[in-house]
Structure 1
Amino acid sequence: MLYNWGIVGTGWIAHEMGDALKRNGRTIYGVCSGHVESARKYAQEYDVKKVFENVDAMVADDQIDIIYIATPHSAHYAVMKKALEAGKHVFCEKAITLNSRQLEECVAIAEAKGLVISDGVTLFHMPLFKKLKEIIRSQELGKVKMIQVNFGSNKEFDPNNRFFNKSLAGGALLDIGVYATSFVRYFMSSKPNVILTTADFAPTGVDETSGILLKNEDDEMAVISLTLRAKQPKRGIVACENGYIEVMEYPRACQATITRTKASSKWSDTGKPEVIEAGESQYALDYELQDMEQYVTEHDGKENLQNIRDVMAILTAVRNQWGMKYDGE
């Protein structure tokens, strides 16, 4: 079944999704933006059927099946709630909401109406990660013991830039930390129940550098390092009893290496990395939209949504420890 998509927002990520929808032969039925002229330009570029002047008009159109939200994340909750209340499935860019309260409110609406919610954390949808998850679940590497994740971007401080603007929910945690936390949750057997953290803050009050330590009931631990003021490799390591997996550029990764550190009946060559490949980074949003449509068709996506909920619960708990609130929370 083919679905009609409506797109809210016309920035660069909305263009990436537009490209993915076109590649997959999908119909972009409608678009809206805070700037109508921008929406009209987008409509011409992607052969969109209708331009809506506001979100209310878009969600009221019964021809739209799925709403894709590509606004700054400070606006996600309001748009998502309107879409769900109007009976639309929602695919929302990260971070899906500002906090768990907002997300859980939307989840309750979706469950009551039989709707699907998913988000744009690409690693949840990349073929590589699905393959790695199968390897972890097979326990051929033994139990997961430690996960380490880095993500650092070197941004010049600008109080008006969304990265540092508190009114736009800026800071490292919701912008890049959501990827790192999603990596951790994806490979952990259960949600962390111990969270320790510390952070440095920009003059605008948002977090710019932080360290986060997580532990769950299965005695799996994770360490996350984030910063907006220094470059770090986007590297994730899943260390198990009999070997470890290393993923570079993990948000859209298509390649990983496995290093076996203990011989077994299946292999005797330890210490030599084995390359695992699946998918293509350039088609990251293709995998997202394909998963989303599969969730809608099969009335599924519960495991994906639970991961999203757990990630937001962690991010919310971290900010609560910092005492950092966004405008309007």
Structure 2
Amino acid sequence: MKTFNWATLGCGVIANQLAQALQAQGRNLYSVANRTHEKAIEFAKKYNIEKVYDSIDEVFEDEKVDIIYISTPHNTHIQYLRKALKAKKHVLCEKSITLNDKELEEAIQLAKENDVILAEAMTIYHMPIYRELKNKACQLGDLKMIQTNFGSYKEYNMNNRFFNPNLAGGALLDIGVYSLSLMRYFMSSCPDQILSQVKMAPSGVDEQVGILLTNPDGQMATITLTLHAKQPKRAMLAYDKGYIEIYEYPRGQKATITYTEDNHQEIIECGSTDKALQYEVLDMEDAILNGKESMHLDYSKDVMKIMSDLRRSWNFKYPEEKENGI
């Protein structure tokens, strides 16, 4: 079986998890690129990485690199995606994969033209619990309603990315993408009716959001998000014959099914939260080797269109979008 050379563009929290995921499989990252060269050197020493680039562009030119993991801020993704895909590198890009649907359409076209795999690093699509629940759902009848919550308390601090428009901050791109991805994974089709309410933070990004969605099959979803108040990361899927509850759903490993007829419960445990990046790595490599659609770029495309349409309805654009007339 082919061994792939992985490069990380960025060396923050997710890059550390990627390096650890590969080491858990008896491998190391091949190379690291980062805006701050000194941080890249420290990162390489920490994880016994063979190659450190003097400039970011060198990662795209390195013929030994098979897959690039991009984990820089959202608003930098498209510039690196363009270079990586044109250099015929497979790319796994941290969520949210781009700022908007126009950028994603461009990236998808580049991936097709260069015959490489492009995917979003969305844990929902790769945690084993969700594949198991999708199989179980066949016994529960028709899906009627999905409810998801995600709340995190972040200080109004412009030095971090959460509330900074110059770093593509805001609830939708940072945490809403998880809720919408879970919704899309279980819904039979993409929602075509969407209503929302939004509260903007003092910095001008979306701080708190409520979304109601309905698809052509009559399945509905409600999503509540906040970056300035804690609430549980809880998902509930209601079917004819029962409902499923999942806590800590972005990297879920346990769910409870309550059956409508007699109220008895079934506990489903599958996979491990700690192995989230390992599952993404293995699925990505499998997609490259076998041409499988296991990375669900089609779902990422639907979710990005929903998020872009929501922000348009709020008249909320990031600086790059204003500059580019998007």
With the length of structure 1 as denominator, give the TM-score of the two structures.
0.95
Counterpart residue number, 1:73: 74
1:134-173 mapped onto 2 (5 Å cutoff)? 134-136=135-137, 138=138, 140-173=139-172
Counterpart residue number, 1:250: 249
Kept after mapping to 2: 8 A contact 1:4/1:26: no
Counterpart residue number, 2:285: 293
> Counterparts of 1:277 and 1:135 in 2: how far apart (Å)?
12
1:19 deviation in Å? 0.3
Report Cα offsets for 1:100-157 as digits up to 9, x if no partner: 1101100011112221111221111000001111222x2x111000000000001111
> Does 1:273 find its partner at 2:274?
no
Counterpart residue number, 1:63: 64
SS of aligned partner of 2:289: helix
> Does 1:327 find its partner at 2:319?
yes
Kept after mapping to 2: 8 A contact 1:59/1:83: yes
Kept after mapping to 2: 8 A contact 1:116/1:300: no
SS of aligned partner of 2:320: coil
SS of aligned partner of 1:238: strand
> Counterparts of 2:133 and 2:208 in 1: how far apart (Å)?
29
Residue 203 of structure 1 aligns with an amino acid whose one-letter code is P
Counterpart residue number, 1:209: 208
> Counterparts of 1:183 and 1:208 in 2: how far apart (Å)?
21
Counterpart residue number, 1:196: 195
Residue 198 of structure 1 aligns with an amino acid whose one-letter code is Q
Residue 219 of structure 2 aligns with an amino acid whose one-letter code is E
> Does 1:101 find its partner at 2:98?
no
Q: Which moved more, 1:224-233 or 1:116-125?
A: 116-125
SS of aligned partner of 1:53: coil
> Counterparts of 1:299 and 1:111 in 2: how far apart (Å)?
13
Give the gaps of 5 or more residues in structure 1.
Answer: 263-269
Kept after mapping to 1: 8 A contact 2:31/2:51: yes
> Counterparts of 1:21 and 1:117 in 2: how far apart (Å)?
19
SS of aligned partner of 1:142: coil
1:24 deviation in Å? 1.1
Residue 175 of structure 1 aligns with an amino acid whose one-letter code is D
Kept after mapping to 2: 8 A contact 1:3/1:26: no
1:161 deviation in Å? 2.1
Distance change (3 Å), C-alpha of 1:303 and 1:5: closer
> Counterparts of 1:158 and 1:220 in 2: how far apart (Å)?
38
Report Cα offsets for 1:243-265 as digits up to 9, x if no partner: 11110000111100001103xxx
Counterpart residue number, 1:15: 16
SS of aligned partner of 1:28: coil
> Counterparts of 1:153 and 1:80 in 2: how far apart (Å)?
29
1:303 deviation in Å? 6.3
> Counterparts of 1:15 and 1:74 in 2: how far apart (Å)?
21
Report Cα offsets for 1:159-202 as digits up to 9, x if no partner: 33210000100011100000011111111000111111110001
SS of aligned partner of 1:328: helix
Counterpart residue number, 1:267: none
Kept after mapping to 1: 8 A contact 2:125/2:295: no
Give the gaps of 5 or more residues in structure 2.
Answer: 322-326
Report Cα offsets for 1:45-89 as digits up to 9, x if no partner: 111111112232111111000000111111111111110000000
> Counterparts of 2:293 and 2:67 in 1: how far apart (Å)?
15
Kept after mapping to 2: 8 A contact 1:3/1:27: no
Residue 52 of structure 1 aligns with an amino acid whose one-letter code is Y
> Counterparts of 1:3 and 1:287 in 2: how far apart (Å)?
15
Counterpart residue number, 1:317: 309
> Counterparts of 2:217 and 2:200 in 1: how far apart (Å)?
32
Identity over aligned pairs, percent: 47
Kept after mapping to 1: 8 A contact 2:257/2:265: yes
After TM superposition, where is structure 1 displaced by more than 4 Å over at least 4 residues in a row?
none
> Does 1:40 find its partner at 2:63?
no
1:309 deviation in Å? 0.7
1:301 deviation in Å? 2.2
1:17-32 mapped onto 2 (5 Å cutoff)? 17-32=18-33
Counterpart residue number, 1:5: 6
1:302 deviation in Å? 6.2
Counterpart residue number, 1:265: none
Report Cα offsets for 1:4-27 as digits up to 9, x if no partner: 011100111110111001111234
Counterpart residue number, 2:115: 114
> Does 1:284 find its partner at 2:283?
no
Kept after mapping to 1: 8 A contact 2:19/2:28: no
Residue 323 of structure 1 aligns with an amino acid whose one-letter code is N
1:300 deviation in Å? 2.3
> Counterparts of 1:255 and 1:300 in 2: how far apart (Å)?
26
Residue 107 of structure 1 aligns with an amino acid whose one-letter code is I
